[in-house]
Amino acid sequence: MPEGLPNSKVFGKSGGFEKLVSYQVGELLYDFTVRFTKKFIEPGSRTRDQMDQAARSGSRNIAEGSVFSATSKKLEMNLTNVAKASQVELRKDYQAFLRQNKLKEWPSDDPIRQELIDKRFKEVDALIRWVKEVNDRLPDRSIPEVAANIGSILSNVTNAMLDRQLQRLGHDFEEHGGFSERLYKVRKGGGAK
């Protein structure tokens, strides 16, 4: 191995966050939230800035944690938890929008809610078209109601995914340790798994 290159036995896998469904949904939610706040939240308001930043923080912390996983499982778990907290904050803002505007928050058994989850949108333009389609099919549900519920649901879905991701990260850490344990094994001549 050329001098100065990291030993692959020491550094674990890292990155690959684009393949994580939590990241993909988080990015979709970020793009959706930016459009939502531009349309429905007053420019320059603290709420608008907070919602945009919470959505951004959700996906960016997933990515950053994934990259840090090579040298710090603890930091990966911490950043994944920050992403989760951001998703909770964002969901609370969507719920507050519904409440403050006297719009209905859909119950968990609402068929449109399930339809959204089943569609598994990958891009924000397709999601926006679907919002308009739902509004055409169900004119009793306004665009702001549909959009805020979608934001709340996607926040909740991402949060659930991050819960599972944190459980998996914790289990992997218990089973395999982290960077320090790999360093120790390499230095003692046992290699790293």
pLDDT of amino acid 179 = 55
pLDDT of amino acid 31 = 96
pLDDT (tens digit per residue) in 92-124: 999 999 999 999 999 999 999 989 988 989 899
- What does each of the 193 residues of the chain score in pLDDT, given as a tens digit? 344 435 455 445 545 678 888 889 999 999 999 999 999 999 999 999 999 999 999 999 998 888 877 667 788 888 888 999 999 999 999 999 999 999 999 999 999 998 998 898 989 999 999 999 998 999 999 999 999 999 999 999 999 999 998 898 777 766 665 555 555 555 567 555 5
Q: Where are the domains of the chain?
A: 17-187
Reported as type and span, the H/E element at residue 29 is: helix 21-40
pLDDT of amino acid 178 = 56
Reported as type and span, the H/E element at residue 145 is: helix 143-176
Q: Identify the DSSP state of 1.
A: -
Residue indicated by tokens 């959505």: 55
pLDDT of amino acid 73 = 78
Q: Where are the beta strands (DSSP E) in the chain?
A: none
Residue 129, SS3 per DSSP: helix
For residues 31 and 16, give the distance between their C-alpha atoms in angstroms, rounded to a whole number.
Answer: 20
Q: Identify the DSSP state of 5.
A: S
pLDDT (tens digit per residue) in 164-186: 988 987 777 666 655 555 555 55
pLDDT of amino acid 48 = 96
pLDDT of amino acid 146 = 95
- The sign of the CA dihedral 77, 82, 83, 85 is positive
DSSP 30-77: HHHHHHHHHHHS-TT-HHHHHHHHHHHHHHHHHHHHHHHTTT-HHHHH
